[in-house]
Structure 1
Amino acid sequence: MPQKRLVWLRHETKPFEERTALSPDGVRRLISKGHQVVVESSPARCFNDADYRAAGAELVLPDSWSSAPFQAIILGLKEVEKNTFPMPHRHIYFGHAYKQQEGAADLLNRFVLGDGRLFDFEFLTDHAGMRVCAFGIWSGFVGTGLALKEWALKKQGQCLNQEAPLRPYSDSENFIFDVKNELERVAEQPKILIIGARGRCGRGAQKFLEALKLKATLYSSADTLNRNTLPEALEYDIVINAVLLKGAIPPFLTPELLARERKLSVVVDISCDPNGPHNPLPIYNKETSFQRPVHKLNFGSELSLIAIDHLPSLLPRESSSDFESQFFPHLLEFLSGEIEDSPWERSLERFYQTVLELGLSFRDRPIEFETQPTIN
């Protein structure tokens, strides 16, 4: 007989984050399979509380997951707020803790102290090492749209910051229409370079350009291999960095390079890891946000930099629905307890590996699902 699980969807606390990994329809499907779903009320989530309640979920207060029953599987999307209390549950979300990011050791130590486990979305991979669920297409799509809009606004003596805080669009058609209108106020078309064009983010960037019938120069890893900076990037109006960061690579742009005479006026860093050890754009050290989407950098002449680490939030419903369609079959696999030789096992292995690398240790509690309590 299939075991019932308790899935606890938490409220997202990151500012301007409206996405979710589980929609009301997803709740309905889980309940139809005998699982229990608790949803934290959220004024920001792109699906409203009433729809979750109608789907059969139990609604609870925001940020109450820390007191959830031990057997609850805590499902989120972005990082939890910084704190020090131990984390005893199994959590599923983007932890940003396995690439030497700032605060990673403190976060993982909370799992160690609580004997909990982190299943990071980013490391749910297939046998070939490819992620099974990602927002990359939407990151590239939105980042490219914002870069085009900032370029057009600059041509008119304006800036995207003047429209901040940026608010989500109802759908991608309205977003495309908005950017198209801004571009039509400018007599020329931008010259665009996409670095990392073959990956998810790069394909998303191309998808947006295709909607406006714009062309770009496409760089793959073969075009940047063994290169020390890309001086030809200065000849473009817009550079889109869509590279998947897996290890150390030489910088594409440096302050010294940008101090030269250049046409380049807008850079969007979709990879957005300014404080990581493998940042290929060492020209800034802090992300931008929907509150202030553009950094104005001065390297002799002004450069607009966009580096928002949750770009798909500008299209929360579409990006959430797409992500859920990728993730949901794997969630069912997880709830069934069939994690051997699966993306879940590979994500868990990365958790253990990083904990050991940091010199942390936890008591040996079996993670097999059959040893875990289930719902009565």
Structure 2
Amino acid sequence: MKIGIIREGKNPPDKRVPFTPKQLKAIQEDYADQITFQVQSSDFRSFSDQEFIDEGIEVVDDVSDCDVLFGVKEVPIDQLLDEKTYFFFSHTIKKQKYNRKLLQAVLEKNIRLIDYEVLKDEGGNRVVAFGRWAGIVGAYNAFWTYGKKTDLFEIKRAYECADLKELHSELAKVQLPPVKIILTGSGRVGNGAKEVLNSLKIREVSVHEFLHLYFDEPVYVKLSSADYNRRKSDGGFDKEEFYAFPERYESHFQKFSEAGEILISGAYWDPDAPRLFELKDIAGEDFQLSVIADVSCDVGGSIPTTITSSTITDPVYDVDRQTGEKIPAFGSQTSISVMAIDNLPCELPREASQEFGIQLMNWVIPALLDDNSGMLERATIARDGDLTIEFIYLNDFVNDYD
């Protein structure tokens, strides 16, 4: 099997790689008679072409001879090769309109698309993800944004840090008033964000304490879905029902928006689930949030102020509380500053790639050599010009050419 590592084509370019040079060397040695690699030449990866060459990996301009192609972000339509197997984050499973044409092209080109986001073990747990790094960088950026907005302190951008160690050194410069911080998300993203909060030695408090007590130090609360969603009929909450029938629930997040000043949002959002709040709510006198770091970055999703994604080079925009419109970052003291970078792990690309590659080595490489891998089958969105049974619900979405 010849496996290609494609050059990232999405703009702005992503610096991450699915595997590091040393990881590819190790795989080739472990599966010497089964797998070979080619890496498509790139000027902007966090690992240079020479680093791959130094590990004995062939670097080429054309990977069309490869059977299987690994990338990170969505592949531009004009770069898709017919009848190949691709691994990348397609961002299509929630019917994201901006990638409708990509999925249409995948079907037209008879591509087998395996999406990292739906690679799961027998227990339904994701096996490969950049979530921890998104959480770390997203939380760090929340405090960078707060420092810029309040002029209380100044720290480097995350991408200016050589590694995680330097990022933690920068956090030592953060001087916070007794601000209340809200964190959502209990998975990799939420736990990554907690690493930053713990590095800052910010105390975690209960929901009751957060809502009803005053503190002379910064504090944070970590919310679960049960804390801000309730059944429309009787105000109750049942976890299994919520995940199976989210449309039966409504948000009661308002009390948290009245108490907190910073929101770090890392919770997975189902399009049928209620939003945390509505855009009209931010005009209310009691709506206290002034910095929102939407780590999950679902445009038009759970956080209505995420009007668009932002970029590493232009990380923050503000939203006017009265009009709900996007305005320049830090353009008004009363506006809400939104950080919604959609490729946060790219700010620490080498370490993020290293951890991601380990997950692929443990789970995906062995599965590729298994003719009947259930894990790969369950994560296959399209094959031979058709959606698979698992993803047949995308049929109406993909057949809409408007």
TM-score range, shorter chain: 0.7 to 0.9
Deviation at 1:143, TM superposition (A): 0.5
State the AA in 1 paired with 2:121: D
Which stretch of the first structure deviates more once superposed, 36-45 or 223-232? Answer: 223-232
Partner of residue 352, structure 1? 388
- Structure 2-normalised TM-score? 0.78
CA distance in 1, matches of 2:163, 2:81: 39
Cα shift readout 1:214-262 (whole Å, capped 9, x = no counterpart): 1310101111222424112232120111111234211112222211124
Tell me the number of residue pairs that the alignment of Structure 1 and Structure 2 aligns. Answer: 341
Which of 244, 251, 273 matches 1:228? Answer: 251
- 1:194 paired residue number: 183
Letter in 1 for 2:221: T
Which residue does 2:27 correspond to in 1?
Answer: 30
Q: CA deviation at 1:169?
A: 2.4
- 1:293–1:85 distance in 2 versus 1, CA, 3 Å: closer
* Mapped pair 1:309 → 2:331: no
- Alignment correspondent of 1:374: none
Aligned twin of 1:149: 144
1:291 corresponding residue in structure 2: 313
> What CA deviation, in whole Å up to 9, does each residue of 1:133-163 have, x standing for no partner?
1111111111011001111221118999xx8
**Per-residue deviation at 1:318?**
1.1
Change (3 A) 1:253 1:179: farther
CA distance in 1, matches of 2:350, 2:373: 32
For residue 47 of structure 1, what is the aligned residue in structure 2?
Answer: 47
Letter aligned with residue 167 of structure 1: Y
**1: distance between equivalents of 2:113 and 2:229?**
34
Q: Does 1:116 align with 2:111?
A: yes
User: Which secondary structure state, in structure 2, belongs to the residue aligned with residue 167 of structure 1?
Assistant: helix
| Structure 2 residue 370 is matched with structure 1 residue 331 | no
CA contact (8 A) 1:149 1:179 kept: no
Task: Give distance in 2, aligned partners of 1:349 and 1:267.
Answer: 33
Q: Which residue pairs with 2:196 in the alignment? A: 208
Mapping for residues 226-305 of structure 1, pairs under 5 Å:
226=230, 227-231=250-254, 232-261=256-285, 262-275=287-300, 279-300=301-322, 301-305=334-338
The answer on whether the counterparts of 1:90 and 1:119 sit within 8 Å (CA) in structure 2 is: yes
- Conservation of the 8 A alpha-carbon contact between 1:108 and 1:355: no
Cα distance in 2 between the residues matched to 1:159 and 1:109: 45
| Separation of aligned partners in 2, 1:319 and 1:126 | 21
CA–CA separation in structure 2 for the residues paired with 1:122 and 1:312: 15
| Superimposed CA distance per residue, residues 43-67 of structure 1 (whole angstroms, 9 cap, x where no aligned partner) | 2211121121122211112xx44xx
How do 1:84-123 and structure 2 match up within 5 A? 87-123=82-118
Q: 1:189, CA displacement in angstroms? A: 4.2
- Flag the 1:36–1:78 CA change in 2: closer, same or farther, 3 A: same
Q: Partners in 2 of 1:119 and 1:202 — Cα distance?
A: 25
Determine the structure 2 residue equivalent to 1:217.
Answer: 221
2:18–2:353 CA contact under 8 A, matched in 1 = yes
User: Identity rate of aligned residues, in percent?
Assistant: 26
CA distance in 2, matches of 1:93, 1:55: 24
Deviates more, 1:205-214 or 1:262-271: 262-271
Describe the shift of the 1:255–1:108 C-alpha distance in structure 2 as closer, same or farther (beyond 3 A): closer
Q: Tell me what 1:373 maps to.
A: none
- Do the aligned residues in 2 keep the contact of 1:168 with 1:313 (CA within 8 Å)? no
- Report the Cα offset of residue 23 of structure 1: 0.7
Query: CA separation in 1, counterparts of 2:128 and 2:226?
Result: 25
**Cα distance, 1:283 vs structure 2:** 2.5
Aligned-partner SS, 2:335: strand
Q: Is the 8 A contact 2:119 2:378 kept in 1?
A: yes
Q: Partner of 2:165: helix, strand, or coil? A: helix
Query: Is residue 25–residue 55 contact of structure 1 (8 Å, CA) maintained in 2?
Result: yes
Q: Give the letter for the 1:269 counterpart.
A: D
**CA separation in 2, counterparts of 1:217 and 1:356?**
36
Q: How far did residue 79 of structure 1 move?
A: 0.8
In 2, Cα distance between the equivalents of 1:39 and 1:292?
30
Alpha-carbon distance, 1:285 to partner: 2.4
SS in 1 for 2:320: strand
Of the three residues 164, 169, 194, the one matched with 1:177 is 169
Q: Is the 8 A contact 2:171 2:200 kept in 1?
A: no
Q: In structure 2, what is the Cα distance between the partners aligned to 1:179 and 1:13?
A: 33
CA distance in 1: counterparts of 2:306 and 2:118, whole angstroms: 27
Q: Give me the TM-score of the superposition, normalised by structure 1.
A: 0.84
1:112: Cα distance to partner?
Answer: 2.0
Aligned-partner Cα distance in 2 for 1:312–1:203: 14
- Runs (4+) of structure 1 exceeding 4 A deviation are 157-160
SS in 2 for 1:286: coil
* Residue 135 (structure 2) pairs with residue 140 (structure 1): yes
Where in structure 2 are there 5+ consecutive unaligned residues? Answer: 204-219, 231-249, 323-333
Equivalent pair of 2:159/2:348 in contact (CA under 8 Å): no
Asked if structure 2 preserves the Cα contact closer than 8 Å seen for 1:334 and 1:344, the reply is yes
Q: Where does structure 1 lack aligned partners over 5 or more consecutive residues?
A: 362-376
